[in-house]
Amino acid sequence: MARRPDDNLQSGPQRLAALVRSTVPPVHSAGIPFIAAGMAVAALGRNHRWVRRAGLAAAGANAGFFRHPNRTPPTRPGLVVAPADGLVCLIEEAAAPPELGRGSEVVPRISIFLSLLDAHVQRAPVGGEVLAVEHRPGSFHSADLAEASADNERNSVVIRTPEGHEVVVVQIAGLIARRIICDVHPGESVKLGDTYGLIRFGSRLDTYLPAGSEVLIELGQHSLAGETVLARLP
C-alpha cells in the first residue's frame, strides 16, 4: 500500500513521545507536592529572573530525586534483588532489629547507602506475603555509618516467600532523611521488584537474608533496585 506524504509527520511526534517515555523516568507520587512548589515559585517570580530560575531549579532537582524508573526484575527463582539504588557499604552477619521479635540469631545482612543522586524508591527484594511492618523512632546519624542500623529511625518489613523463606528489609533514615514512607501492610502480597516505599532525602536499606543464603554481590558495588541480584536463597 502506498504511503501518504503525511505518514512521517504523523509518526514523528509519536516516535518522539515514545522516546521521551523510555528515557525520562516517571516521578513517584510523593514528589508531586515538592515539584509543584518549585513550579509555583517560578510562576510567582516570573518577573524576577533569579526567583524564576530558583523555582525551576528546585522543581527539576525534586523531579530527579523522586524519579521512579522502570525496572525489570530477574525471572530465575530463588533470587533476592536489591531493594534500593545505591552503594553496597556493608556485608556482614547481624541479628534482625529487636522490635521484630526474631531473637538474637545472626544472619547475612547487606547494607545499601543511598546518596542524594540515587533514586529513592524502595522495591521488594523478594515476592511473597508481608508478615510484619514495624516502625521504630530513633536518631538521624549519617546513614553510611555502621551504627545507623542500630540507632537511626527505621521501618522494618518482613516478607515470606511462597517457599517459606523470610527476608527482612529495613528502611533507615539518615542525616538529612527525616521521612520514611511505607505503602505495604501485613497480610498483603508483593511481587519481586514491586515498589513499596520511599525515604527522603538520603538514606540506607538493610536486607537480612535467611541463614544459608549465598551472597552474590560484593562490597563497593552499585545496585539498581529491583534488578541487581544480592543473593540466592537456600
Which of the residues are catalytic? 203
- Which of 94, 130, 98 lies closest to 207, judged by CA? 94
Report residue 151: phi and psi, to 5°: -100, -30
Sheet of strand 179-182: strand arrangement:
121-123, 195-200, 179-182
- What letters, b where the CB count within 10 A reaches 16 and e where it falls short, cover 129-149? ebebbbeeeeebbebbbeebb
What residues contact residue 52 under an 8 Å CB cut-off, 6+ apart?
42, 45, 46
